[in-house]
């Protein structure tokens, strides 16, 4: 089935531009952004446009299947925009890896959140040969996951192996020390930047630089 394109005219300042959309109407509460491209002008709703520039992932108290988590991880590494990750409440198991795999400098946690890391776990039943196959597979997954933690935290393989041996709960400050996050957020980043600028202006060094 082919989508039917509808031509719409939108006024931008003093000019009127024509765009094509699959929707018969533009929802008035959703801003539209027009972008110049090699094929002409393209219109995006603001949400789709933001996905081209930035992605924010909020990590909540959810655990999941390791292979599903690795699928999300691969997607995060594949896309072009920088990805900010936030731990809100708790990031356990695969969620802690996704938290650590955000863009460096953009991995955050709220101050009272908890981060938990551990080795893969699971269970299987059946014939001895099948159980052995699954045991070998989960050991391969363990090795791969540890390698990814090493990549994103900067810790040694030995330290990661030791940390992942049992359930290990971390405070945001501990997670920062281990390299899982970059910053503990108690206030909006912009507010902190303004505060830092104000402190610099009031410092003797800042006054000398301005003088």
Q: Closest Cα to residue 83, out of 45, 105, 111, 55?
A: 55
Residue keyed to tokens 């196959």: 133
- Is there a catalytic annotation at residue 156? no
Quote the tokens at residue 186.
């108690």
Q: Of the residues 18, 118, 129, 187, which is catalytic?
A: 118
Active-site residue flag, 104: no
86 within 8 A of 54, measured Cβ to Cβ: no
Within 8 A by CB and 6+ apart from 130, the residues are: 124
Token output for 15: 């000019």
Phi then psi for residue 70, to 5 deg, are -70, -30
- What is the rounded (10 degree) CA torsion for 89, 95, 100, 101? -140
Of the candidates 18, 37, 93, 203, the residue annotated as catalytic is: 93
The SS3 of residue 78 is: helix
CB 87 within 8 A of CB 99: yes
Active site residues: 93, 118
């Amino acid at each position: 089935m082919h989508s039917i394109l509808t031509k719409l005219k939108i006024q931008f300042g003093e000019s009127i531009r024509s765009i094509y959309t699959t929707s018969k109407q533009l929802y008035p509460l959703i801003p539209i952004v027009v972008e110049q491209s090699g094929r002409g002008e393209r219109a995006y709703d603001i949400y789709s446009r933001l996905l081209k520039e930035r992605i924010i992932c909020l990590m909540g108290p959810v655990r999941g299947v390791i292979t599903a988590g690795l699928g999300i991880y691969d997607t995060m590494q594949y896309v072009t925009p920088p990805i900010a990750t936030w731990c809100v409440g708790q990031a356990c198991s695969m969620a802690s890896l996704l938290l650590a795999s955000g863009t460096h400098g953009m991995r955050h946690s709220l101050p009272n959140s908890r981060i938990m890391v551990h080795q893969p776990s699971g269970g299987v039943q059946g014939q001895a040969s099948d159980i052995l196959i699954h045991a070998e597979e989960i050991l391969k997954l363990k090795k791969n996951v540890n390698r990814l933690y090493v990549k994103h935290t900067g810790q040694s393989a030995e330290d990661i192996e030791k940390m992942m041996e049992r359930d290990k709960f971390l405070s945001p400050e501990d997670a920062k020390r281990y390299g899982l996050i970059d910053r503990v957020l108690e206030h909006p980043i912009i507010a902190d930047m303004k505060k830092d600028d104000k402190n610099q202006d009031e410092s003797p060094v800042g006054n000398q630089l301005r003088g």
